[in-house]
Chain A
């Protein structure tokens, strides 16, 4: 078994910066990531040689390359194409590596697992040709591929405009942008965004490009349905109220489409933190369930949580949080004194707060509102893995279900191969709405290993029938 001073789970901006910082203080570091190369989602390494010129995502591409170069130079062990499926205090992390299963041990663990995308279902969401908004950014930035056109881009947040503009620049056709927010809500957020004029300018550029291209933008609207047999053929656009519920009898429009990119915000990926026993609270403005951590990301003894998985705050804040976590581990493991720790972290905290102010403004805009999941139609599939409909969830609640774990065991909702990552928010919102309970009260699925599907022989481990400890026979 390989042993390190610290294991960092996730090679995005937080994980890479944590690794660089920990290496600067002499720690032996392993970074575990599922990707071919470090980068995470925002700094996703291109799958082939791309020209980093004036194209969609060029700025992110350049920053990603800078960080990748720095982490490669740092001497950290970069365990890419490693899929972690379990973690335990102690610290032990189990992975599937390209050559098979491995277990790693360390004195400390930094979780930098980022986010997953929330997509609240509508009829037709499971059709081939429908992808997440975050998936669309990966498609454009890492693969330099445009979805089949025309594409409808729908949901909430800056990714809407990044994706729509990116498709246009790369030669695709956007049929419409469908934004849950009103223009006044974007304007209202400007004060919180003013600290990053560079990013504001980028956003303004996207909007101007879309306007020039004549792309219709529907504000305060949602996808009522995606139509098609084997693939996407058309979408139905409907107006929503301020709580994102569809306005009954509101004017719906049907437009032809060959693909859809849809996303309703980013959710901290907390399964490893919950598996490690960290307490969580529900904070819609930070993406949903977030772990209880100190300002420096400390979640427990030799355990740190950094970046968006501790509450969605963006890439700039994630890098700073990664640095803080790296310093925290260096202090906990006795590599730097408390004084040095205070001196080094005091420089970082003001920058972190500034970056968080921007990131939190964005994540608050994307905070899930109750009307969206309430409006899911009875026949709509909520749990993609197990084909569980809204009606089945309603029935379970009518039968007495009050917690998402009860829902999981009575309906199999959230029990499939994705481990409930895709449907967690929609299912919990429906249980909360039907019972009148809060999201805190209806809870979150208890994480169960393996957190990623693994071959059965790996879960069973390396032993024979004779190794099974049977209790001694009772005396006759």
Chain B
């Protein structure tokens, strides 16, 4: 990201949503309850959700409608599309960032 960049954030015109504690790879985060998990993670600065299985390049949410499968994470041990998964208190989210990871940029 560029130095002066603003993060992914809620439209201030709408009422704020209470946050709940979840864990991401063991670290505690506070995310807006009921928000799409992928979007909530983006708001927390966590855009990278997985690595591509062959080249190991970083990937994140892309289609937000359950088609592209890029936002796959594990929630409480189950593989889910994080774009369609609402944030729930206490959920344990794990990303697959080490699997055959390389320091490859995709460009």
A residues with a Cβ closer than 8 A to B are 34-36, 41, 47-51, 53, 55, 83, 116-117, 123-132, 134-135, 138-140, 142-150, 170-173, 225-234, 256-259, 381, 384-387, 416-418, 421-422, 452-453
Task: Say whether A138 contacts B64, CB under 8 Å.
Answer: yes
A315: shortest Cβ distance to chain B, in Å? 15
CB distance from A53 to the nearest CB of B (A): 8
Q: How would you classify the secondary structure of chain A's contact residues: helix, strand, loop or mixed?
A: loop
In the docked arrangement, what's the CA distance between A143 and B48, Å?
Answer: 19
Number of B residues contacting the other chain (C-beta, 8 Å)? Answer: 49
| CB of B35, distance to nearest CB on chain A (Å) | 6
Cross-chain contact of B14 among A130, A144, A228, A421 (Cβ < 8 A): A144
CB distance from A73 to the nearest CB of B (A): 24
Q: Are A421 and B11 in contact (CB under 8 A)?
A: no
Q: Which residues of B contact A417 (CB under 8 A)?
A: 69, 72
- Contact in complex: A132, B62 (CB < 8 Å): yes
Interface string of B77-99 (1 = CB under 8 A from A): 00100001010000000000000
A128 to B10, CA, bound (A): 19
Contact of A50 among B14, B39, B61 (CB under 8 A): B14
29 contacts between A and B (CB under 8 A): A35-B84, A36-B86, A47-B35, A47-B36, A48-B35, A49-B14, A116-B67, A128-B58, A132-B62, A132-B64, A135-B61, A135-B63, A135-B64, A143-B39, A144-B10, A145-B9, A148-B6, A171-B12, A171-B13, A173-B6, A230-B58, A234-B2, A256-B2, A258-B6, A381-B57, A384-B70, A387-B52, A387-B54, A417-B72
A interface footprint on B19-31 (CB within 8 Å = 1, 0 otherwise) = 0000000000000
Contacts of B66 in A (CB 8 A): 34, 83, 452
Residue of A nearest to B103 (CB): A229
Task: With a 10 A CB-CB cut-off, give which of A50, A55, A116, A148 has the most chain B CB atoms.
Answer: A148
Instruction: Name the CB-closest residue of A to B39.
Output: A143
Taking CB atoms, residues of chain B closer than 8 Å to A147 are: 8, 42
Q: Is the CB of B107 within 8 A of A146?
A: no
Could you say which of B39, B67, B106 contacts A145, with CB atoms under 8 Å apart? B39
Contact A384–B52 (Cβ < 8 Å): yes
Chain A residues with Cβ under 8 A from B11's Cβ? 55, 140, 144-146, 170-171
Q: B75 contacts the other chain (Cβ, under 8 Å)? A: no
Q: Mark B42-70, 1 if CB is under 8 A from A, else 0.
A: 11000111001111011111111111111
Choose from B14, B34, B106 the contact partner of A381 (Cβ within 8 Å): B106
A146 to chain B: closest CB distance in Å?
A: 6
How far, in whole Å, are A131 and B61 apart by their CA atoms in the complex? 7
Q: Contact between B67 and A422 (Cβ–Cβ < 8 Å)?
A: yes
Closest A residue by C-beta to B3: A256
Cα-based distance from A257 to B5 in the complex (angstroms): 8
Given contacts A47-B86, A258-B6, contact A148 B1 (CB under 8 A): yes
Complex CA gap A170/B10 in Å reads 8
The reply to whether B12 and A148 contact each other, CB–CB distance below 8 Å, is: no
Partner of B64, one of A139, A148, A418: A139
Is there contact, CB below 8 Å, between B2 and A127?
no
Which residues of B have CB within 8 Å of A129? Answer: 1, 47, 60
Please give, as numbers and ranges, the residues of chain A lying within 8 Å of B68 by CB-CB distance.
384, 418, 421-422
Q: Which residues of B contact A131 (CB under 8 A)?
A: 61-64
How far is the CB of A166 from the nearest CB of chain B, in Å? 9
Contact present for A139 and B7 (CB under 8 Å):
no
Given contacts A51-B15, A147-B8, A229-B105, 19 further A-B contacts (CB under 8 A): A34-B65, A47-B34, A48-B35, A55-B14, A128-B47, A128-B58, A134-B63, A134-B65, A144-B11, A145-B11, A146-B11, A171-B11, A226-B107, A230-B48, A384-B52, A418-B67, A418-B68, A422-B67, A452-B66
